[in-house]
Structure 1
């Protein structure tokens, strides 16, 4: 009987979230939940009864948090706080080895501290686009584009891919897919070493198969609840396969991955790009880039707007391909 009681208590404690943060408003109301972040004058608070709510920072009287937070104050660099305690009106008590009472108005950003190399993190996005034209010709085009990453300890796995199909009067005129896997090993909190492989196949292009294997160092500038910014430099071996012949050569590449949450986490801006510098005379450079916005409808649904630019220069000519995509997707 005692064992059953202990097991029930353990299960209940694991399934019930701990809402340790409390916010007092100027009108006397009190809200309990979990502080997600403060940015742009909005505090995002995740509550058990209303999901995530946005509160204007100027409408908050004081607050309390028992979890570590990274605090940015006007004129100061970010500092680590063990916890925040409620103080007088418009004030908060910062506990970080010592105790200091500061005005709420002086705090411009709050981000929950995350042990970069200890947490287990899984996140990703999957966006879909469908375009149907019914004029003189019947054209159907659909595209899936997704990415996911898993971090555990000093390792990070990154998987990206896309699939595109297009038919015209029930005849297939475009069919291609792309898949890339990168494995990162963190040497410090910021520096890491990457090994990656990428493959593309296109049924209707002259180069019907492309494979890239590369390795090189990377640097993570930041990665927190607000977003991330990574910069990677690699040495790559590239193989092109065509119906006539195959071609292999080396390249040097520079890649960045940027994401930033805006408008109290509702809006997300992201940008990814890769610049390839081949060691052959036929190609000067190749750029594969994208940038876009995702608007969060709820915890999982997204509206997405994406701009893609692919550009290649070689033999005195520049070829560019631009695409604008509007779709709906899911995020986790």
Structure 2
């Protein structure tokens, strides 16, 4: 009797452990029912993570009603996003939003549905780290690795952004690339869209004429959007550059324009992103300096990523344009 009770309690314990934290249910117009975890509604597609089929995409128009026990941000036609503690099934083509009080709305009126971003107390924290490793064993022995990462914390009217990269390359035992760069940005929001950014950047490259570089910047920025699906920021700054070399130093001011773009597509599997900075130094020798990157990440799971990145660095001065292109294929983590 006692052993049978222990077996029953053990089975119950395992069942509790194996049960998903959130149990969402979707009823289709044809009578089928799917259970899993709602990841995202965007572009007329509902991404549902199931235990038996992985992530599936469902046409929003094929859904009869649904139920969710998890908090969600709901975007309806002609309205701002609103928070819902849970969703309850409410008959054909309808759903009930529960957040203290409840409201029954047509499914057709809902345009977007996403889980709230992770909060660290009153802070929003996110970031990515991508890595590339390339080893060639042909006529030459060449080893190359590169790390790129960024993270941001937003709380109240303040946002902190930290980004950096490391790159190292050796050929037949001799170094051919060795550089690093670190940038810190501090944003103060004046309105939900307008903000002021202060920036500090420091870099070192042992294989460039100016092997050390520092810059300070200040200027306005505009946030077009920043939500669970992505962001788009545009920033203009006046910057001060300090370049150092063994032959002498150089200081000058520059105007700069920067953008920061990220967007989730096809449910939550793919992420398009781009960052670029166009600088126009106030010296006659250089017309402009462009530092840009465009990439695509494929989300293997909640934290692992496959990444494809294209970098274009360009300098134009005295009628000559010099371009430097890099391609990075690697793996990374996101949070």
TM-score normalised over the length of structure 2:
0.83
Question: Contact conserved, 1:70 with 1:113, CA < 8 A, in 2?
Answer: no
Give 1:167's aligned residue.
170
Distance (Å, rounded) in 1 between the aligned partners of 2:139 and 2:62: 58
Q: For 2:211, what is the secondary structure of its paired residue?
A: strand
Give 1:269's aligned residue.
272
Q: CA separation of 1:280/1:299 partners in 2, compared to 1, >3 Å: closer, same or farther?
A: same
Q: CA deviation at 1:134?
A: 1.5
Give 1:215's aligned residue.
218
Q: CA separation of 1:69/1:281 partners in 2, compared to 1, >3 Å: closer, same or farther?
A: same
Q: Does 1:228 align with 2:223?
A: no
Alignment of 1:249-328 (within 5 A): 249-328=252-331
Alignment of 1:40-59 (within 5 A): 40-45=43-48, 53-56=55-58, 57-59=60-62
Q: Does 1:194 align with 2:197?
A: yes
Question: Contact conserved, 2:96 with 2:102, CA < 8 A, in 1?
Answer: no
Distance (Å, rounded) in 1 between the aligned partners of 2:204 and 2:180: 6
Q: CA deviation at 1:51?
A: 11
Distance (Å, rounded) in 2 between the aligned partners of 1:125 and 1:111: 20
Point out the more displaced range, 304-313 or 125-134.
125-134
Point out the more displaced range, 216-225 or 300-309.
216-225
Give 2:89's aligned residue.
86
Deviations 1:27-62 (A, max 9, x none): 3425364x4420133323467x67974340344220
Q: CA separation of 1:173/1:197 partners in 2, compared to 1, >3 Å: closer, same or farther?
A: same
Distance (Å, rounded) in 1 between the aligned partners of 2:139 and 2:36: 59
Distance (Å, rounded) in 2 between the aligned partners of 1:125 and 1:69: 23
Q: Does 1:31 align with 2:35?
A: yes
Question: Contact conserved, 2:199 with 2:218, CA < 8 A, in 1?
Answer: yes
Give 2:244's aligned residue.
241
Deviations 1:233-281 (A, max 9, x none): 1111001111111000001111110000011011000000001111111
Give 2:186's aligned residue.
183
TM-score normalised over the length of structure 1:
0.84
Q: CA separation of 1:79/1:242 partners in 2, compared to 1, >3 Å: closer, same or farther?
A: closer
Distance (Å, rounded) in 2 between the aligned partners of 1:242 and 1:318: 23
RMSD: 2.9
Deviations 1:271-327 (A, max 9, x none): 000011111111111110001000001111100000000111111111111111111
Deviations 1:129-185 (A, max 9, x none): 111112211111111111111112222111111111111101111111111011112
Distance (Å, rounded) in 2 between the aligned partners of 1:187 and 1:17: 41
Deviations 1:92-119 (A, max 9, x none): 34679995542x3453322356799x94
Distance (Å, rounded) in 1 between the aligned partners of 2:124 and 2:23: 22
Q: Does 1:71 align with 2:81?
A: no
Give 1:125's aligned residue.
128
Give 1:141's aligned residue.
144
Q: CA deviation at 1:126?
A: 0.8
Distance (Å, rounded) in 2 between the aligned partners of 1:187 and 1:80: 22
